[in-house]
Structure 1
Amino acid sequence: MNGLSELIDSLEVKFFKLNQKLIQLEKKNSELQEELLLSKKVQQQQAVDLTSFQNQLDTLKMVNSLLGSEENKRETKLKINSLIREIDYCIAQLSD
């Protein structure tokens, strides 16, 4: 009978330790999930910022070309020609 009591006590101690470990792991999991959500939000914001900066860079390149810079002159001419074609297309649509 004494051996059975010791076995039950041992099992209770092991169960308590496992339960404590489970609680710790659930807490850590929750913290990691919150950190992941925060990281995803930061990544989305950085993607938006990157797109905005890319647009600003393209605009600055065009302005720089218009001011006489030789570096981006070809790109600016192509963009202007594209805009002219779009305007011509719109005028043609309005004329019909």
Structure 2
Amino acid sequence: MADKDQKLIEIQEKLDQLISSYEMCMEANSMLSSEIEEIKTRLDKRNAEYEALKERFETLKVARSIGDTPEGKKEARAKINAIVREVDQCIALLNR
């Protein structure tokens, strides 16, 4: 009988340890999930900044190429035409 009681006590202690470990894992998981969401938010912000800077860079390239040489003017004209085509495509998609 004492042997059975000892085994029950050991099982209860192991169960308590398991529950404690589970609760610690759940807390860590919650913290990590929060950290992931924060990092995703920061990444989205950085991507938006990158896209804005990329657009600004392209604009500066076009502006710089317009005044340099005849080749630069041709390149600028081609870029402007490409942008106009993109805008036309967007308008066409919006009209659907």
TM-score (norm 2): 0.75
Q: Deviations over 1:15-73 (max 9, x none)?
A: 11001100110011001101110111111111111110110011110111123167854
Rg (Cα) greater in structure: 1
- The answer as to whether partners of 1:66 and 1:76 remain within 8 angstroms in 2 is yes
Whose helix proportion is higher, 1 or 2? 2
- Listed as ranges, the matches of 1:7-86 within 5 Å are 7-68=7-68, 72-81=72-81
- Letter of the 1:21 counterpart: S
Q: Name structure 1 gaps, 5 residues minimum.
A: 86-96
- The answer as to whether partners of 2:67 and 2:73 remain within 8 angstroms in 1 is no
Note the C-alpha offset of 1:84: 8.1
How many corresponding residue pairs? 85
Q: Name structure 2 gaps, 5 residues minimum.
A: 86-96
Overall identity of the aligned pairs, in %:
22
TM-score (norm 1): 0.75
